[in-house]
Amino acid sequence: MSGVWGKNIKFSIFGESHGKAIGITIDGLKPGIGLDLQKINTEMARRAPGKNRLSTPRDEGDSFQILSGFFNGRTTGTPLCAVIYNSDQHSGDYEKSKNLMRPSHGDFPGHVKYKGFNDYRGGGHFSGRLTASLVFAGAVSRQILEQQCIVIGSHIKSINYIEDKSFGMELEEDGLRELGKSPLPVLDRSAGNAMEKAIIKAREEMDSLGGIIECAAINVPAGIGEPFFDSLESSLSHLLFSIPGVKGVEFGAGFDISKMKGSEANDCYCMVNGNVRTSSNNNGGISGGITNGMPVIFRAAFKPTPSIGKAQRTVNIETGKDEILEIKGRHDPCIVPRAVPVVEAVTAMALLDNIM
């Protein structure tokens, strides 16, 4: 079933973009885990729309309500279920164009698969709105991981052709946490300023931009993951490609490692303060599908937001004719800034499931 993921912990997502609510159930958490609800709220606010000129004006606070599995500040051991009510839907924006298949959306394949019974408003179950549920699950997972000193952070590596610096070998907990406080987290502020201008320009031109998010998890102990089908790369990739808009994932040096010689690509082992480390991290902290004690580093590429105001060719599935579509409504000119906490959330989910 596509709405359920995990082996040791089961994450089950539900809802539609313009339905009454969205949410997630987490099954498999041990009883007695203390959760800081304010920290969860902070993570939810990072993804929430309507905060600045870089996002959609749809004003959803992403406030959650825990329905079960949590009592007196701690998990009970039964399924933890949280719901996030939708409060700012403009469903009428989609009624007039319900038969016009939006380019690069899930409208047409969803219509075929579900025989026309799918909820088409705002993309329904295909919508990025559901990533709010992932952020909740990730916020819970992060708090459990932080008890083991595992810290996750990320930055926007690129927007269109504008490039930020890359993570280096040495990453600090405080630095990663500080990135999470910015609505446009970058390592080079000048690159961030250029990205912001590019996003605003795309909005003015009724167009959109894509980009790349680079994520890191530090203090992950060696030995996490399995070879072959259950490699940590497989787990992370599975969840990353579940985020709407992700079209590429690479670990460590990524595709560039194919251009290196073995003598350049190999991460040679060495002793540092009594611990086994590597002198480089071209494999992104994962060897043989299992963590090797180095920072886990990867990048996820997002396509441009498909909902744009420019006229586009499409088909009308009711009349069977070609038509021109001009998408109305409220949409992000670039989904990448709001996707940062989502990428971090699924990273936490994958790590927790493997560690458990």
Domains along the chain? 4-355 (3.60.150.10)
Percent of the chain with pLDDT strictly greater than 90: 79
Tens digit of pLDDT for each residue in 80-94? 999 999 986 555 666
Sequence-ordered strand ranges (E) for the chain: 4-5, 10-15, 21-27, 64-68, 70-71, 74-75, 80-85, 151-159, 162-163, 211-218, 246-251, 269-272, 275-278, 286-287, 290-291, 296-302, 312-316, 321-325
Angle at 156 between CA 155 and CA 157, to 5 degrees: 105
- Asked if pLDDT for residue 263 goes beyond 70, the answer is yes
Tens digit of pLDDT for each residue in 7-27? 999 999 999 988 899 999 999
Which whole number is the average pLDDT over 114-129?
84
pLDDT band (50, 70, 90) for residue 125? confident
> 240, 199, 183, 195: which is closest to 48 by C-alpha?
183
- Asked if pLDDT for residue 299 goes beyond 90, the answer is yes
pLDDT, position 89:
58
List beta partners, residue 80: 26
pLDDT, position 122:
75
pLDDT, position 96:
67
pLDDT band (50, 70, 90) for residue 127? confident
- Contact yes or no for 99/319 (Cβ under 8 A): yes
Which whole number is the average pLDDT over 290-317?
95
Tens digit of pLDDT for each residue in 144-193? 999 999 999 999 999 999 999 999 998 999 999 999 999 999 999 999 99
Tens digit of pLDDT for each residue in 195-228? 999 999 999 999 999 999 999 999 999 999 999 9
Q: Kindly report the backbone phi and psi dihedral angles of residue 222, in degrees, each rounded to the nearest multiple of 5, phi listed first.
A: -65, 150
Q: Structure tokens of 197?
A: 């201008």
Q: From CA 89, how far away is CA 105, in angstroms rounded?
A: 19
- Asked if pLDDT for residue 338 goes beyond 60, the answer is yes
pLDDT, position 328:
78
pLDDT, position 60:
61
Which of the two residues, 87 and 71, has the higher pLDDT score? 71
Tokens 């994450």 correspond to what residue?
Answer: 11
pLDDT band (50, 70, 90) for residue 55? low
pLDDT, position 116:
86
pLDDT, position 187:
98
Sequence-ordered strand ranges (E) for 230-342: 246-251, 269-272, 275-278, 286-287, 290-291, 296-302, 312-316, 321-325
Q: Structure tokens of 64?
A: 């959650």
pLDDT mean across residues, the chain:
93
Q: From CA 187, how far away is CA 170, in angstroms rounded?
A: 14
Q: Structure tokens of 330?
A: 């409220």
pLDDT, position 53:
66
Q: From CA 326, how far away is CA 241, in angstroms rounded?
A: 28
> 68, 51, 52, 49: which is closest to 60 by C-alpha?
49
pLDDT band (50, 70, 90) for residue 66? very high
Q: Kindly report the backbone phi and psi dihedral angles of residue 271, in degrees, each rounded to the nearest multiple of 5, phi listed first.
A: -100, 130
Burial readout 6-33 (b: 16 or more C-beta within 10 A, e: otherwise) = beebebbbbbbbbbeebbbbbebbeeeb
Burial of 99 (0-12, 13-18, 19+ CB in 10 A): middle
pLDDT, position 320:
93
Angle at 351 between CA 177 and CA 4, to 5 degrees: 120
Angle at 75 between CA 73 and CA 80, to 5 degrees: 115
Burial of 208 (0-12, 13-18, 19+ CB in 10 A): buried
Strand, helix or coil for residue 257? helix
- Asked if pLDDT for residue 49 goes beyond 60, the answer is yes
Which whole number is the average pLDDT over 133-148?
97
pLDDT band (50, 70, 90) for residue 1? low
